Amino acid sequence: DAKDADVVIQVAVPAQTTVELCSTEAQAILSQKNCIAIFGSNQVSAEGVLAANANLNVLGSDPANGDVVGVGFDAGSIIKAAVKDGTLVGAVTQSPLMMGYYAIYALTAAANGQKLEDVPTEGYWYDATNMEDENIAPNLYD
């Protein structure tokens, strides 16, 4: 029962994945007086969270000051700028290089009749302090 819960995780999925519809869903969540954090689970939804915040101006890194902590997934110029300026605390990025590597690996194995299994793909947490790190920066694509 949500009345007795310490934390309620609310999930919103728009009918289509557009920034505008993600923004509408994010505004509904961010407008709740007890909202403490929000996660945009892909590039479009993270950009939707940022679009919602443009109207509400509630995101930040200091919950003690009443800020809602925002985190995203993926890169792109809009998300990177929001991480850099502190609107988003950070984000998780994929590794296109390793995804490409494992795609070639899997294609070669399949062509040779080998059994295929799941392969790991790299991902990295980034925030304003480590965006320029040599292991992370190549994965922050636009």
- Give the count of domains, the chain: 1
pTM above 0.75, yes or no: yes
Give the burial class of 112: count Cβ atoms within 10 A of its Cβ; 0-12 exposed, 13-18 middle, 19 or more buried: exposed
Q: What digits encode the pLDDT tens for the residues 4-39? A: 888 889 999 999 989 999 999 999 999 998 999 999
Q: Band of the pLDDT at 119, cuts 50, 70, 90?
A: confident
Tokens of 50: 């940022």
Residue 3's pLDDT is 81
Tokens of 119: 């392969």
| CATH code, domain with 88 | 3.40.50.2300
**Structural domain that includes position 11:** 2-94+122-129
